[in-house]
Structure 1
């Protein structure tokens, strides 16, 4: 292994056939380079999608009312299902519910401050909507329980609304008008999951009272205790069954009660990315194997060219193991050095791309027009993967040289000396 003469001979052979060695090494370097690029790109897409999901609580669920499409217990279809505050209380009592908020929509949302005005979305909600939708407070506070109990005319403005109405001036404590009704600004926020912050949040009790909503609610946003798709579906069906019993509609009627289960969507998406990663490994490994096959073919040619030399070695007493070792070392050297170069170039390119992506993300996050949403994050390859790839290279080099080495070891000295 550490025989200086053997290594000098290997290096001399490589120098003698520079172009052949270069092309052989290039095929291996290209294979590992592409493997790193594919793995890094797959990680970048997976991380970006996962982070966008994290903008809202991953275990969030939204439910909204509609019209029945199935007759139920003697009642005809096309009945309007109307949620009320008591439905919110019902959902809160379900043990698997973590956070929940009812919402009542207000139509014609004209927001004004002084001479500035615009059309935005006013959302009436409970305080826990902040947790469900991962709302980030920039200034002030969010809606609280005191606002609900005292039906305060408090409002939390999205960043875009604040920028448009106040032009960077102090807003906390000021009054704006929502459909000509004055509301006191108590906070400024950025909404999770979006790049536009054009929602204004007010207490649900205030919205119902001021805008003639009585005790009406249009939908619910909640988070649930669930770690798998099966658990998530079970909780969803439990909530659906409770509301179906109260409003007398078929629990399977999706038109009467619509829903969106984010955890189910998230887990299914992550499974797709796991499958993509496996596919990437297959493609990358196949590319690497193609390079290794090229190395093996070249080493067969080397053995053929050096048949007489190998015969002389064996004639003067060289053991088969020393011949095998010589061929194997040359194969491993070419494969490992070329593969390491491809590995360094691939990971280096991914690190450079990651730096650029992070700069773009930081710029987007610092701007007032978005919260830095991006679908491609941290496209790097982990140290474990790099170590695994390096190990594969060494093994691949050994495999590539084994068959030619065994052929060289079987050469009989008398036949080798006759070879032309």
Structure 2
């Protein structure tokens, strides 16, 4: 490795490249473009992945939403068109009898007029259990979420989103302990959570499930439930089993496809994950293929350079240079050109990602969120460049040492 630190080694590399500057630049274009493409596409794919993660971030993604609809087949004396009302007891039976379930969360929802002093608006009010915070995590800014004591005592407490706060409160006004009216009933604010992009039903205001049942006279009925499967179980099978059980509990024909509605978040998330993995694989494939093409171009140019330097190589051989030293010099030139082009490509790709983040990565609706590549990806790309540069440098290196010194000295 000592030769790498010798001035003569790098002087020879410089002389070789500077003899035909245009050719040297064109030689590097293929590698530069390949690494730029690799960095830019991988960073963009990461930005899209981050965007989806932000979209689904508050949810347990291995989940399915289930609700009652209208039957399309008569069954056990019930006519077609019966409306299906799900109940709390249904959620308990699903939780206890369907394999692979981690949580079953019954939920209530209604629209309500919300008033504070002279400000008001119509928002979605949810009746929820504390367990909701495990499957749809709230990023609390102030206060707390609903607890079991709120449920047991039917407390009139409320958790609001940051957006609701902005509409009903003055800027920087204290929120915890304040009261708002929901359908003319006073509720004490105990928490405020960060607003974000929502998956599924919009999430504005939360009150205890038991309080919701009481003020809306819901009894045992629920409009929908959220079922979360354990990570090792297939959420599509959990959906099938849960719907079949609910049909049996509610006297619905087993083949009635309309009676129980569902939105399988896990299935949709798996599609997106598969798309992102495919995109990353395609990016690596295209990037490496372009790199290989660029490196082969370097090999071809070096073959031409070796041909032009035949007499020089003959002189070096005649004064005592070994075949190994000749090969080593050619390989160093190949690796140097490859790495130099690669580093320029990495820097250029980084600039492109900076531009993407500045132009397309801002705001809640951004398609790309923090489009970037990790240091490990850059390191792997450089290792690939060194390997390919060494490999392709062997071809002109062996060509250079295959010429006999006497024949090389005769070359004009």
TM over 0.5: yes
Indicate the SS of the match to 1:120: strand
Unaligned runs of 5+ in 2: none
* Residue 156 of structure 1: aligned partner: 159
Contact 1:190 1:197 in 2 (8 A): no
| Offset, 1:200 | 1.8
Distance in 2 (alpha carbons) for counterparts of 1:171 and 1:236:
40
Contact 2:63 2:235 in 1 (8 A): no
Q: 1:182 aligns with which of 166, 174, 186?
A: 186
Quickly say closer, same or farther: Cα 1:179–1:23, change in 2 above 3 A. same
Contact 1:312 1:417 in 2 (8 A): yes
Q: 2:278 aligns with which of 266, 272, 275?
A: 275
* Residue 307 of structure 1: aligned partner: 310
1:390 aligns with 2:382: yes
User: Could you report, residue by residue, the CA deviation over 1:139-186 in whole angstroms, capped at 9, with x for unpaired residues?
Assistant: 333333333333333322222222222224334344332223333333
* Residue 410 of structure 1: aligned partner: 402
| Offset, 1:347 | 4.4
| Offset, 1:276 | 0.5
Distance in 2 (alpha carbons) for counterparts of 1:258 and 1:403:
65
Distance in 1 (alpha carbons) for counterparts of 2:359 and 2:105:
35
* Residue 381 of structure 1: aligned partner: 373
1:145 aligns with 2:137: no
Quickly say closer, same or farther: Cα 1:155–1:384, change in 2 above 3 A. closer
Contact 2:357 2:371 in 1 (8 A): no
Distance in 2 (alpha carbons) for counterparts of 1:102 and 1:205:
11
* Residue 34 of structure 2: aligned partner: 31
Q: 1:51 aligns with which of 50, 54, 58?
A: 54
Number of corresponding residues = 406
TM-score of the aligned structures, taking structure 1 as reference length = 0.84
Contact 2:105 2:225 in 1 (8 A): yes
1:40 aligns with 2:66: no
Distance in 1 (alpha carbons) for counterparts of 2:181 and 2:9:
87
Which stretch has the larger CA shift, 157-166 or 247-256? 247-256
Contact 2:356 2:368 in 1 (8 A): no
TM-score of the aligned structures, taking structure 2 as reference length = 0.86
Structure 1 segments (4+ residues) deviating >6 Å: 195-198
Q: CA RMSD in A?
A: 3.1
Distance in 2 (alpha carbons) for counterparts of 1:393 and 1:409:
24
Contact 2:140 2:194 in 1 (8 A): yes
* Residue 226 of structure 1: aligned partner: 231
Distance in 1 (alpha carbons) for counterparts of 2:318 and 2:77:
101
Quickly say closer, same or farther: Cα 1:161–1:11, change in 2 above 3 A. closer
| Offset, 1:197 | 7.8
* Residues 242-257 of structure 1: pairs in structure 2 closer than 5 A: 242-251=245-254, 253-257=256-260
1:335 aligns with 2:338: yes
Contact 2:357 2:368 in 1 (8 A): no
| Offset, 1:417 | 4.8
Contact 1:63 1:257 in 2 (8 A): yes
